[in-house]
Chains A and B, each alone.
Chain A
Amino acid sequence: MAAINITNVSKIYAGGVEAVKSVSIDIADGEFIVLVGPSGCGKSTLLRMVAGLEAISKGTVEIGDRVINDIEPAERDIAMVFQNYALYPHMTVYNNLAYGLKNRGTPKAEIDARVAEAARMLEIEQYLTRKPRALSGGQRQRVAMGRAIVRKPAAFLFDEPLSNLDAKLRVSMRGEIKQLQKRLGTTSLYVTHDQLEAMTLADRLVVLNGGQIEQIGRPLDVYHTPASTFVASFIGSPAMNLLRGTREGNQLHFGSQVLDLGRPAAFPGQITVGIRAEDLRIATTGEQALTMKVDYIEELGAQRLVHGTVDGKKLTASLSPEIEIAETLALSIAPERLHFFDADTGKRLAQPFAPSESRRVERLEIAGV
């Protein structure tokens, strides 16, 4: 068990393509960090640099106060779980688990003990004599995790371990990985493109985009205060609605629709406003509201996603299934629930309102003109 310090790490491929751009992450001992981002964002490359499967072009990676840039993967005291399991097909489950230990010259009795312990933990005891091809996907993934556990490494590295499993199994394995990590207390670095996995597993998550860190934070902090429009649209399902608006005085204009902020705003004229789908609600009678033209509805059972347009711009609202859906809906939103982003850079505006403003506006009406 150890802390991992990633300092200004870059990956530059031959030909000058920079896949990872000066990334720094400090991972505390026992922490579960999830790297999340769309494909091609450099998350796997970063993980593979920590694992030692890719050379580090610039910067340093430390595991437990030891710079491991030039150390062989086997000497880095890490264990990795691969997306396609990467089990040795010709070896039994037992040998798959024991192979790394054998190569280290661990005594036979200890190998037996560790394999037995890992097998018991993962409930794969009855499969120890089987070959991987005789196992189901979920069982194979357990064996792959077992191979990591028996090593008792300083850190676990997970490279999209659940992507090859079906949806139901993915959910249950997700829970198991989380429990296992808590029980073992091993520092973990987990790569995924699935924001749901990231939200549920992470102690802290790292959102990557184009080889750079967009935001690091606890899942709920990232969800409630996304640092940029990229994070806002990536974390959370359905994605956060992002509307271009113009400020005129204390009013926001979305095309022909106007929203009165009711307090002095401190942002420039052009603005991107973020609205979570679940923050929108049906306006009560007489309440001024934003009118949305409904295009289509997705039924999720517990809630209902209503897709439509507000002045030609796409908007999604998450509503209770009991609500009758008309062709046009009047929607309102609590003012403190609005997110403001710079129209050009996409960065979050920390203080959208003038600091002197202390009066709390109970409800902000979005009025159709």
Chain B
Amino acid sequence: MHRTKLFDHVILMMGVFFMVGPLLVALMTSSHEAAEIHRNGLQILPGGHFIDTYTTVLTKQGGFTGKITGLRMMMNSLILGVGFAAGKIILSMLAAYALVYFRFRFATITFWMIFTTLLLPLEVRILPSYEVMNTLHLTNTYTGLIVPLLASATGTFYFRQFFKSIPDELLEAARIDGAGPFKFFIDVIVPLSKTMIAAIFIIMFVYGWNQYLWPTLMTTDESFFTLVRGIKQILLVWVGSNIPDYNEAFALAILAMLPPVMIVMIFQRWFIKGLTESDK
């Protein structure tokens, strides 16, 4: 076995430093007062206003209309993240199931058409999508926020590859056991895909959570603001001699990071399984 040497530890420690350092600075800075940050810049020592700042951020009614709180934004972000993840998983599993297990004309072409959209970022179709939602009067609704982004080429691709690795005999055994397409999907495919679902859930949740441009475009009503937008909003108060609430911005950033971290930590066991091994 390889004996770890000092040098190996140095590399690891440098990795930790570069990864965790900025987060630590953000956390520490958020516990200082805004004016102090404005004067002295970023802080690496705790400042003693930790609880004040976070209580303010979570409960203070702010924003232009003065109605939106940090908690509300957090909830919006959660709705968006979970909605995205769950919706994408359901949709892409069904699509992949159809592509892999049903023989229909142009299945391969269809798949490649879906696959090529992987290459297109959301921004390419953002205006048409907005126009559609606007015509349907779905702006400023959760439906409008979530539904247009649900079709997922990435998810469909992953699930397709995974389904292809499930041995055909399983399908044949199920057919002889009298399981129809729906039963086979629910009783065999879904339980077998558990680890894959966990992996996709993490990826898609973080993707949804971090959305900025789309929510900005879709919602003008502040009660739909997400955390990521909230951070930006705080820094937009350069009016007169006002000092932006740097501490609150940092606190929001830290808060915005927590749920994805928790999701990853909860699901990581399945996540790694899902990405590396296929349950035989």
Contact = CB atoms under 8 A, between A and B. Distances in A.
B176 A73 contact: yes
B279 A80 contact: no
B123 interface: no
B280 interface: yes
A311 to B, nearest CB: 50
A56 B9 CA distance: 66
A78 interface: yes
Contact of B183 (A79, A88, A103): A103
B167 A84 contact: yes
A144 B187 CA distance: 18
B172 interface: yes
Contacts of B8: none
Contact of A103 (B170, B179, B279, B280): B179
B169 to A, nearest CB: 4
A99 B183 CA distance: 11
Contact of B172 (A82, A99, A133, A147): A82
A144 B173 CA distance: 10
A74 B176 contact: yes
Interface in B169-197: 169-170, 172-179, 183, 187-188, 191-192, 194
A162 to B, nearest CB: 15
Contacts of A210: none
Contacts of B191: 90-91
A78 B176 contact: yes
Contacts, number: 63
A359 interface: no
A70 interface: no
B175 A72 contact: yes
A90 B176 contact: no
Contacts of A73: 172, 175-176
A88 B170 contact: yes
B175 A86 contact: no
Contacts of B183: 103
A155 B169 CA distance: 19
Interface string A66-97: 00000011110011101110111111000000
A104 interface: yes
B179 A86 contact: no
A80 B179 CA distance: 14
A53 interface: yes
Chain A interface size, as a band, is 20 to 34
**Is chain B's binding surface mostly helix, strand, loop or mixed?**
helix
A9 interface: no
Interface centre among B175, B176, B192, B194 (most CB of A within 10 A): B176
Contacts of A149: none
Contacts of B188: 88, 90
A52 B172 CA distance: 9
A90 B177 contact: no
Contacts of A52: 175-176
Contacts of A91: 191
Contacts of B279: 89-90
Contact of B192 (A75, A80, A83, A90): A90
Interface string B21-63: 0000000000000000000000000000000000000000000
Contacts of A89: 192, 279-280
A84 B167 CA distance: 9
A74 B170 contact: no
A206 B176 CA distance: 25
A51 interface: yes
A185 interface: no
A217 interface: no
A103 B178 contact: yes
A44 B178 CA distance: 21
A99 B177 contact: yes
A103 B175 CA distance: 10
A53 B177 contact: no
B177 to A, nearest CB: 4
B176 A80 contact: yes
Nearest to A51: B176
B176 A79 contact: yes
A100 B172 contact: no
Contacts of B187: 88, 99
B169 A133 contact: no
B171 to A, nearest CB: 9
A74 B167 contact: no
Interface string B141-185: 000000000000000000000000001011011111111000100
A94 to B, nearest CB: 14
Contacts of B179: 74, 99, 103
B178 A80 contact: no
Interface in A20-58: 51-53
A89 B279 CA distance: 8
Contact of A74 (B169, B175, B192, B194): B175
Nearest to A99: B177
A97 to B, nearest CB: 10
Given A80-B176, A99-B177, 18 more contacts: A53-B172, A53-B175, A73-B175, A74-B175, A74-B178, A80-B172, A84-B167, A86-B169, A87-B173, A88-B187, A90-B191, A90-B279, A99-B174, A99-B187, A100-B177, A103-B178, A147-B173, A147-B177
13 contacts: A74-B175, A74-B178, A82-B172, A82-B173, A84-B167, A86-B167, A88-B173, A88-B187, A90-B188, A100-B177, A103-B178, A103-B179, A103-B183
Interface of A: 51-53, 72-75, 78-80, 82-84, 86-91, 99-100, 103-104, 133, 147
